[in-house]
Structure formats: structure tokens, C-alpha cells
Structure 1
């Protein structure tokens, strides 16, 4: 079992657990509970109705609504393995609560895969911008699944300008310039959206459309480029990593090998 609070706006807690005989009593959270099950199955009651969380489903339990939980097959000694994201109530807004009570689980392989990717990213220090981007995409998909307009005027989220070619190019260019000015220290998606006055989802879509890569990929590539120059001056990989904005040497090595094709240690060897 592991639990932690990542430095990603909107995520109150990440919880990974394997239970063989634990039974959750009726309880409620102040947060949204976004659940995927990797092995086994979970049965739970929500609003006096019984539901199941299976390995091919995405489950979204709303805040403030009591629920319980138990293995769907108590005789199975393997129990169940789950991964949970507890999202701040404002991360999705309160307009989804009724829809989530009516339909707390649904089959959506693409959304489940994106949640899996988000969990994997949240485990990696230094990938906060990627995690923010993935969370934004997940939130939009959840709203689409529950048939609530993601960015309408009635939404709790601010609307963004129409995604015309010129508006998209402008948003993309502004975000690129902002990231270029903060390569080492970085910038969160939330901070960029507030500074540039665009919705985070609009920034991601516009940037990806304009440059053919996600914002976090762009920033990582610029950091790799910076690290290359530092390595060529003779700077040790460990120092080059932190000096170019990476969490540590292993963080640099993973991305450097992917972009350049060799490890930082081999790159600067004469």
C-alpha cells in the first residue's frame, strides 16, 4: 500500500492498495474518488444502490455521498488491487455530483488508459507539468462521459476563446515563449493558464496542434538541449541534471536517452 500527495493542483491524494479481506464501512469523502481496479473486483453501495468496480471500468464517486466497499468475491484469497485519485471537489466542480450518483461507473478503455498514464506520471518526481496536462485531459473526458459540457458558460470552469486557427496559434506561441523563459524553473499548467488568460485545456490542445507535441514534451526537450550544452563544457551529469531543470541525474538520464539516443555519461566522452 502507498499513499502520497503530489505537488499537482487538483490532486488531494494518490492511493494504491491491495486488500484481501478489508471491508470499508459506509463513509464519505470531501473529494472526488476516481478509481480503477487492476485485479479482482469491488462491490459498493452508493445512494442505496449496489454497484461494481471491475477491471475494465472507470469509477467516479462524488464528494459528500456515503459509500462502502468490499471484495466482490470474498472467497478469493487474492482480494482486489486498486489505484485511486482523490481529486479536490473544485477540480471537477459540483455540477457533476448528480450525474455521478446516477452513473458512477462506465466502460471507457481510452479514459482508463489515460488514468493509468496519469498514475504512472504521478509516481515520477519532476514530471508535474506532464501530470497536470494528463489530469486536464482526464477531467475533460470525465465531463464528456457524464454529458456535462466541459467549458460552457454554466460550467464552474472559465470559458476560453474559440479554437480558431489564429487563436490557437496565439495561445501556442504565448505558452512556448513562457516556457522558453522558464526552462530551468519550469511553469505549472495552472500558473500558465492564469498568466496567459487561457483555459488549461485550450493551451494543451492549441500547443499540440501548432507544434505537434504536448507542452511537457517541449519543455523536456528544451531541458535536454540545455543539459547537452552543459555536458559539453565538462559539467558532471549530476550537476547538469539539476542545472537544466531535472529532478536528479536519473531523471535526466531517462529523458536524455530517449531524445539523444545515448546516456548523458556516454554523450560527452571524447
Structure 2
């Protein structure tokens, strides 16, 4: 089957939703990366397999997958036909960080009612002028997700995710210096640790190397700026990349399309529903 990468992306005027992302991918696999927002995913066609916190998961048709922020994951199609997915990126006003551990323990929720409600949110978000309906429906989705996750808090706390102090402090430094960046030498001096020990501690705690974490956070910032309508050349510098080529290389690797095509898919009247489907054509792969 010819490679296909079609996306639609926009930022709605609905509190709690940082981005809506619809995609149809065939021959594309996401590498390990992180998001700063919650990722609420439903797959309409095909299936996705992914690793989260070193455990393999999947997305059968009736599943709602909830991937927590700051926890590395990847993703790839299960069949040659690829997958068609719809994603809501949600901020901490919908789900707070205390629920990250429970979400790691069980990210795939087989709940037909929840899945139907998530689909209703997407349908409302796709209709300009129906923001109040989308906001109302999202409240019920958030409520049901919290019902699932809160009973698990005690178990997650007892298990306690790998988050030693040194790794956490390095992550905080990387977050603080997202755009200017941070050398391992400077980080080692600030944290009073050997650079190699820093890398090992961070990777052991989060399952991703410091440079991969920083790059995926920068790509996330680039997505927001592109949704704001900024051109890729300006976004590159504002997101911490060396130049536009540097941005393009990593953006295409983590999102599946180039920044220019992503921005085209997010074009339209800003403030209303933004998004126009990108149809690069069979075999474009970019």
C-alpha cells in the first residue's frame, strides 16, 4: 500500500484543549517522545501499538487510550493499512498531574460509553460555533476519566514511578532552558554530578535520553507556534532549533509531516475552527 500521511490540526476555543489532531498514517512510526499535555486518543480505523514506561500496549477499535504528560511513548501501525486516529491534547485543568502514575499503570480503557463521548467532543469541535457543546461534553469525559484513575492512586503511589532526585532536577533544568538549551557540562556543574552519570540517571528514570526529551519538548512548542500562524523559519528559532532545516528534520520525525504541511493543515481563520486536511498524495512520505 502506498505511503499516506494526511493530517488536520487546530487549536479550538475550548478551555482545557490545547490541540486537536486528526491523522491517517500508513507507513509511519513515531519514535520515543514526550508531550507536556495529556494525550487522549481514539483510533477509528486500524490499530496502533505503542510502548509506555517500558510496557507494550495497543489500541483495539473500542479502546480509549490516555497517555500522560512527560512519560515517553512511541507508536506504530499494527497492519500494512495503517491507522486513522483522532487525538485531544488536554491540559492540567482537565486532568491534574496527580493522575500521571495511575494513567501509566493502565492507559488503555475499554469503555464504549467513554469512547462515544470522546467522539462527541470531536464532532462538536469540528463545528464552528459549537464550542459550548464541546466544552460541556468534555466535562463529562474528564469526569469519567477521573473516575477510572482515582481508585488507582494508592497502587501507583505504592509502586512509585522511577523518579530519583537527580533525574528530576535535570528534567527541570531542561524545561527551564527549553529554547537556549543546556550542555551536559553545564548541567553537571549545576547539579554537581558527572555528565555520564546524569545521562544514565535520566534515561533510567524516564526511559528516554536527555537530548530526546529536549527535542520532543521543542517540537511540542513548535506545534503551538505553528498553530498560532507563525512561519516555520520564525518558529525554528523561537522553539530552540538551530535553523529551519533542523526543525524540519525533527518535526517530521516526531509528527509525521513537515512543519510547512502541518501549518497548512492548521491554516484558516484563526480563532474559529482551524484546519484543512493535508493530502500530500500517495507515496509522498513527508
TM bucket normalised to smaller: 0.5 to 0.7
* 2:147 corresponds to 1:141: no
Partner of 1:107: 110
Instruction: Identify which of 58, 62, 74 aligns with 1:56.
Output: 62
Partner of 1:92: 95
Kept in 1: contact 2:38–2:89 (CA 8 A): yes
Kept in 1: contact 2:40–2:90 (CA 8 A): yes
In the alignment, the residues of structure 1 paired with residue 77 and residue 130 of structure 2 have an alpha-carbon distance, to the nearest angstrom, of 33
Q: Deviations along 1:7-50, whole A, 9 cap, x unmatched?
A: 00000000000000111000000000000000110000000000
3-state DSSP class of the match of 1:91? coil
In the alignment, the residues of structure 2 paired with residue 31 and residue 15 of structure 1 have an alpha-carbon distance, to the nearest angstrom, of 13
In the alignment, the residues of structure 1 paired with residue 58 and residue 71 of structure 2 have an alpha-carbon distance, to the nearest angstrom, of 16
In the alignment, the residues of structure 2 paired with residue 115 and residue 40 of structure 1 have an alpha-carbon distance, to the nearest angstrom, of 18
Partner of 1:46: 52
In the alignment, the residues of structure 1 paired with residue 38 and residue 92 of structure 2 have an alpha-carbon distance, to the nearest angstrom, of 6
* 2:12 corresponds to 1:6: yes
Instruction: Identify which of 64, 69, 83 aligns with 1:80.
Output: 83
Instruction: Identify which of 27, 37, 46 aligns with 2:33.
Output: 27
Q: Matches of residues 189-200 of structure 1 in structure 2 within 5 Å? A: none
3-state DSSP class of the match of 2:41? strand
In the alignment, the residues of structure 1 paired with residue 101 and residue 149 of structure 2 have an alpha-carbon distance, to the nearest angstrom, of 10
3-state DSSP class of the match of 2:86? strand
Partner of 1:132: 135
Q: Deviations along 1:189-220, whole A, 9 cap, x unmatched?
A: xxxxxxxxxxxxxxxxxxxxxxxxxxxxxxxx
Gaps of 5+ in 1: 150-246, 248-270
TM-score, with structure 1 as normaliser: 0.53
In the alignment, the residues of structure 2 paired with residue 54 and residue 17 of structure 1 have an alpha-carbon distance, to the nearest angstrom, of 17
Larger radius of gyration: 1
3-state DSSP class of the match of 1:16? strand
3-state DSSP class of the match of 1:92? coil
In the alignment, the residues of structure 1 paired with residue 83 and residue 11 of structure 2 have an alpha-carbon distance, to the nearest angstrom, of 23
In the alignment, the residues of structure 2 paired with residue 131 and residue 122 of structure 1 have an alpha-carbon distance, to the nearest angstrom, of 6
3-state DSSP class of the match of 1:51? strand
Instruction: Identify which of 12, 21, 24 aligns with 1:18.
Output: 24
